[in-house]
Amino acid sequence: MISQSVETLDGWYALHVIYKMDWHAWNQLEQTTKKEFVKELQTVIKDWKQVEIDENGSHYLWNVTGHKGDWGIFLLRPELKDLNDAENRLTTLKIYDYLNPVHSYVSVMELGTYSGMPKTETGMKRAKAHMYPILPKDEYICFYPMNKVRAGDINWYTLPYEKRQELMKEHGMIGRKYAGKIHQYITGSIGFDDHEWGVTLLANDPLQFKKIIYEMRFSEASSVYSDFPYFIVGRSLNDDEALENYFRCQLSRVEK
């Protein structure tokens, strides 16, 4: 018997890209050349800021913590082709010769309807705020993909709709406890990437990432039916000063 699927509301397309910087080659350049390249990158980011002002997409830049990369971008655009255009523009920058993309994730902003379709004006506003968000530039970011388990008798997709609805309600109640502490964005990636969903968390206190994920592990929807392959965390680079300081830090450390 085929189990009933849940309808989703879908918004802007999403792209996460993680880059490694070739610091050795970068540090062979003259200071004036480095500044020129960074300024060119800032021009692109300025255009991205105008996209946000026009409410036609959003972005978040961060310095990746750990060995998985050096810095990352999270882009939201109305169409998949718009993501392609934004990504392709980066490849035309002079600084791109010193960047190596080591990871990417393609998805679309998604809102599940286990709790029902939004019916009130307030409900519609909340739904639109999730599907078409202007990302807050909180200090820290955590991104991770997730899958629903399909292994023998433990199979999310064979559970009755009512059971899945019950489990997602329990899961959602935990998330509500972190309102005001964490901004959470769920993106659907079935058919777009190697996993089924992407989760992006933004917060000013990174410890909240650990707290919410740990607490959610004890809900049945997570403890039994979910798999989390990896996590990538980092710190915001979302203004000119932060971006300049990031490159300046690397320069001063090497060139002393």
Q: What is the 3-state secondary structure (H, E, C) of the chain?
A: CCCCCCCEEEEEEEEEEEEEECHHHHCCCCHHHHHHHHHHHHHHHHHHHHHHHCCCCEEEEEEECCCCCCEEEEEEECCHHHHHHHHHHHHCCHHHHHEEEEEEEEEEEEEECCCCCCCCHHHHHHHHHHHCCCCCCCCEEEEEEEEECEECCEEHHHCCHHHHHHHHHHHHHHHHCCCCCCEEEEEECCCCCCCCEEEEEEECCCHHHHHHHHHHCCCHHHHCCEECCCCEEEEECCCHHHHHHHHHHHHHHHHC
Q: Mean pLDDT, 10 residues at a time, over the chain (256 residues)?
A: 84 98 91 91 96 97 97 98 97 96 98 83 88 97 96 92 92 91 96 98 98 94 95 96 76 41
Residue 121: per-residue pLDDT: 86
Residue 117: per-residue pLDDT: 82
Q: Which of 18-41 are b and which e, b meaning 16 or more Cβ less than 10 Å from the residue's Cβ?
A: bbbbeeeebeebeeeebeebbeeb
CB 107 within 8 A of CB 198: yes
Whether residue 3 lies inside any domain: the answer is no
Q: Hey, what amino acid is at 192? A: F
- Full residue range of the structural domain in which residue 181 is found: 8-255
Domain count across the chain: 1
List residues with catalytic annotation: 144
Whether residue 1 lies inside any domain: the answer is no
Whether residue 2 lies inside any domain: the answer is no
Residue 72's CATH number: 3.30.70.1030
Residue 154: per-residue pLDDT: 94
Whether residue 141 lies inside any domain: the answer is yes
